[in-house]
Amino acid sequence: MLIAMNPTLIALPLGNIALRCLQTLVRASSEAVTIWRHRALSRRHLAALADWQLTDIGRSPADALAEAAKPFWQA
């Protein structure tokens, strides 16, 4: 089965289009997981800092606790 999205484009088999969509989905999912892991790790490290270290980076202990309490999927 062939599908043409634009008359100026060469018609591609539907399988190739589906493969590209799948590749895009896998890439986007992988990037999301990488970002989520980074957030989770960063928040764990932030929660482990001492008060003087937090003051050094311009954060209060309350700010750090609020940030550390966020779920990994929330920016």
pLDDT, tens only, 17-75: 888 999 999 999 999 999 999 999 999 999 999 999 999 999 999 999 999 999 999 99
Task: Please give the tally of structural domains in the chain.
Answer: 1
The answer to whether residue 45 sits within a structural domain is yes
The answer to whether residue 63 sits within a structural domain is yes
Q: DSSP class of residue 59?
A: -
The answer to whether residue 35 sits within a structural domain is yes
Q: Range of 57's domain?
A: 12-68
60 Rama class: left (phi>0) / alpha (psi -120 to 50) / beta: beta
Compute the distance between CA of residue 75 and CA of residue 36 in angstroms, rounded to an integer. Answer: 9
More confident call, 7 vs 15: 15
The answer to whether residue 74 sits within a structural domain is no
The answer to whether residue 30 sits within a structural domain is yes
